[in-house]
Structure formats: structure tokens, C-alpha cells
Amino acid sequence: MRNSILFFAILGFALCAQNPLFLNETYTSGLVNIQKSSDIFYWLFESRSNPSTDPLVIWLTGGPGCSSELALFTENGPFTVNDNLTLDSNPNAWNNNANLVFVDQPVGTGFSNAGKGELVKNEEEVGEDFYQFLLGFLEQNPQYIGRPLFVTGESYAGHYIPAIGAELVKQSNPKINLQGLAIGNGWVDPEVQQPSYGQYAYENKLISAFQYFTVVKPALAVCSQLIGIDAPLFLSNPFCNLGYQTIVGYGQTPKFNVYDIRKPCIGSLCYNMTNVDNFLARNDVKAALGVSGRTWQECSNTVYAALSHDEIVNLAQKVAYVLESGVKVLVYSGDQDFQCNYLGGIAWTNAMEWTQQEAFQNAEFQSYNVNGQSAGEIKGAGNFQFLRVYQAGHMVPMDQPIVALHMLNSFISS
């Protein structure tokens, strides 16, 4: 009975709709079955420009276990939520020139369901599940078969995106036209990125020189070395935690907003997401999305726990594999973020071994201009680029929406 209900629901999801509730943006939402009893939720917004020809851009929020609707309503989606739970249009939404899909993955994230024993435990499973999701998505939305595809996201998506990109390259399915990956403030190579916590904190005066040289730097050096030899977590975690917590403090709330050092930390995610929580709890909203009876949550602790051993895995070689296939990759990083800071981003992109590693290392940063103003600095080699975005935190589209949209449009049209 459940399967037949889902079948008829999916038929409805595949039909694009407009709803005053969602400011008459043309959208589709749906569920794609994964494994035995799990599914993945998506919310697609058609391009505001040329939906029949514009590329398909997928967005993945990190966590692990955090819903992509967080970005939809606070970063690059077509609207934001007001205090009275109405919506305002976002003029810098990423569906201005692209068909934009927000995906709640892995299973168990956001509106997605995880069957018993079906939570993913590593990035190979993330990639395999996402490939199955994409096949189901294209079945429900066949107009996107063969359309240029770009997979984007931030934070722990620095693990997801390389794994997904590598799986799509490996599968080489003619229905899937992967053209590029874009990773924002991503957690990709922990061995290389861990020491950057100390360097960034010291350079930005978040800790004293005494704290840096006597505690933080040596602790994170040992942390990095242990990660590099695949030491068990019970050995590496004490050193990693000592270095990190000396910087941010030992309380439940960090001493500063780890996602934007210019701001205070408010709430569990350091940002007040109450309006998003309340909007997605409304029965009329859930009915319009086809997820009545489900409960949305910002981030899932069970998904996070299932991936507990995945955090220290290096995904840089997956990025290299994708690059060698000819797919282009953009790594961008807001420079006010501590959590996945740009110094670590520069470090892991320089350390990644691939055929143009030396050319990338030797490339000089150039000014990245938007509307005649320097908005950052960029360097690259071949089909690989690193962009530092000035005056942006962990969520670049939130802090620099015009720059972020310019960045996306340049990436998908070049």
C-alpha cells in the first residue's frame, strides 16, 4: 500500500507547479526511493531565464546531516522567510540562470527518510546513493536528461561532492552530463586542513601567541600526523579537540561564531533559523511539497553519528580523479570563516596530487572583480580554480550574494 501511495505521489511531483505560497516560482518537489525503504527529498526551482535550455545545478548542504533547505531560505534559494512566516523574493537566487535543485541527502537528512540499517557510513555509499537518486530524479524529470549538470555545495559537502563527482565519472552514464563541481568552504583533506585552525586563529587574533605556540600548533600538528597514518579516532581526537577547543572554548556555545568571526554565535548552528523551522513545520507547506506527515529538522544527529568515522578521510584524490576526467572544479572560500577556513582551502588545493599540481602551486593570485570592484582573488591551472571571497563567512551566498551569483553564472557559462 505504501509503495502504491508513493508511486501516485511521485507522478504528481514530476509536474511543475506554481503556488502563491512560494511566490509563484515554478517548482517541483519529489521523493526518490533509495535502497529498500529509504528515500531522498528534492526541491527543484526552474530557471527564471530559459528553463528549457539552462543547465541543472544541484546544491548540497553539509553537516553531515544538515538539510539543504537551510541554504534555500538563507543563502541562494529564490526566497527568504519573514518573521510572520511569509516569503520575500531573493533577487540573487541561483535559479536566475539555472534550474536549481536542493537535495536532502544522505538518507535521513531534512525531509528524507532513512530505513532501518540504511544510513550511510562512508563516502562510497554517499556516491552510490546519490547516483541512484539522480537516476530517479531524471526518470521523474526527463527534460533534464543530458542537460549540463553542475554539483555544488558547502562545508561537509567537501566530502560529498568529490565522492559524488567520482561516482558519476565512473558510471559514465550518457543521461548524466556532468560539467563541473563547485565546493564552498569545504572540508576535504583533514590532515592538511587541521593545522590551519591554529594558523587562522593566530593570524586573526582569536588566540594569543602563547596559546598558539605552546598548545594549539603542537596539538594540531600531532592531530594531523595521526590522521595521516590512519590512527584510530581515540588516538587522534584528543589532540584535534585540544587544539580546536583551545581556540573556540570548551562551552556548548563557541566564544565566537565559527562560521563568521565577525559575528556572535546564536543557537546551535550559530544562526537563528527559527523562521525556517516554523515555515517548514506548517501543514500547508508540507502538503504543497508532498511530505505531509514528515517532520523536518535542521540537522540530523543520527546521520552525523553514522558518518563519525568519515570525517578524517581525505577526499582530495577524488577531486583529482574528476579533474583528470576533464570535468572542471571550482573551490571557493569566504575568508571570514574559521570552521573550514580559506588557509586550509589553499593548503589542500596546493597539496592535491594531479598532473597540473605544480602549475597550480606556481599560479599567482589575480584580483577577482565583480561590477568593477575587487571581490576576491583567484588562481588556477587547467580546469581547476581556487577563489578566496573577501568579507564572506562560511556561507558565501549569504554574506556576498551578488558575488556568489556572479561566481556561479561565470562557472556554468564558461
In this structure, the answer to whether residues 322 and 381 fall within a common structural domain is yes
Q: Which residue in the list 310, 335, 337, 399 is annotated as catalytic?
A: 337
**Cα–Cα dist 223/242, whole Å:** 9
In this structure, the answer to whether residues 163 and 223 fall within a common structural domain is no
394 is catalytic: yes
pLDDT in tens, 173-196: 999 999 999 999 999 999 999 999
How much helix, strand and coil, in percent to the nearest 5, is found in the chain? 40, 20, 40
In this structure, the answer to whether residues 204 and 220 fall within a common structural domain is yes
Residues in the chain, overall count? 414
**Cα–Cα dist 40/296, whole Å:** 13
Q: Which residue in the list 67, 155, 196, 333 is annotated as catalytic?
A: 155
Asked whether residue 163 is domain-assigned, the answer is yes
In this structure, the answer to whether residues 154 and 75 fall within a common structural domain is yes
Cell of 293: 506527515
Please report, to the nearest 10 degrees, the dihedral formed by the alpha carbons of residues 68, 27, 120, 386 taken in order: -50
In this structure, the answer to whether residues 140 and 123 fall within a common structural domain is yes
Contact 326, 181 (CB under 8 A): no
**Cα–Cα dist 222/204, whole Å:** 22
Asked whether residue 304 is domain-assigned, the answer is yes
The residue range of the domain holding 231 is 192-248
pLDDT in tens, 82-102: 999 999 999 999 999 999 999
Asked whether residue 219 is domain-assigned, the answer is yes
Question: Dihedrals φ, ψ of 36, to 5°?
Answer: -80, -50
Per DSSP, helices labelled H in 356-400 are 357-362, 396-399
pLDDT score for 2:
35
The H or E element that residue 407 is part of is: helix 401-413
337 is catalytic: yes
Asked whether residue 312 is domain-assigned, the answer is yes
| Residue finishing a domain among 248, 263, 287 | 248
In this structure, the answer to whether residues 158 and 224 fall within a common structural domain is no
Asked whether residue 261 is domain-assigned, the answer is no
Question: Dihedrals φ, ψ of 316, to 5°?
Answer: -60, -35
pLDDT score for 15:
67
pLDDT score for 372:
94
pLDDT score for 1:
36
Nearest to 30 by CA among 7, 53, 2: 7
In this structure, the answer to whether residues 240 and 146 fall within a common structural domain is no
Asked whether residue 129 is domain-assigned, the answer is yes
| Residue finishing a domain among 204, 232, 248 | 248
pLDDT score for 253:
83
Q: At what angle do helices 316-324 and 157-171 cross, to 10 degrees?
A: 40
Q: What is the mean pLDDT of each run of 10 residues along the chain (414 residues)?
A: 37 65 91 92 97 97 96 97 95 98 97 94 96 97 97 98 98 97 98 97 97 97 96 93 94 89 86 94 95 95 95 97 98 98 98 98 98 97 98 97 98 92
In this structure, the answer to whether residues 157 and 293 fall within a common structural domain is yes
* pTM score of the predicted model: 0.93
**Cα–Cα dist 119/389, whole Å:** 35
In this structure, the answer to whether residues 286 and 375 fall within a common structural domain is yes
Contact 337, 270 (CB under 8 A): no
Asked whether residue 257 is domain-assigned, the answer is no
Check the CA dihedral 348-130-108-20 and report its sign: positive
410 is catalytic: no
| Residue finishing a domain among 212, 233, 248 | 248
In this structure, the answer to whether residues 176 and 209 fall within a common structural domain is no
Asked whether residue 4 is domain-assigned, the answer is no
In this structure, the answer to whether residues 55 and 182 fall within a common structural domain is yes
- Regarding beta strands 56-60 and 148-154, do their DSSP bridges make them parallel or antiparallel, or are they unpaired? parallel
- Which residue, chain included where needed, has cell 564572506? 392
Q: Count how many domains the chain has.
A: 2
CATH number of the domain that residue 26 is part of: 3.40.50.1820
**Cα–Cα dist 333/290, whole Å:** 35
Q: Which residue in the list 54, 333, 394, 399 is annotated as catalytic?
A: 394
Nearest to 305 by CA among 125, 108, 132, 162: 108
pLDDT score for 14:
60
In this structure, the answer to whether residues 237 and 303 fall within a common structural domain is no
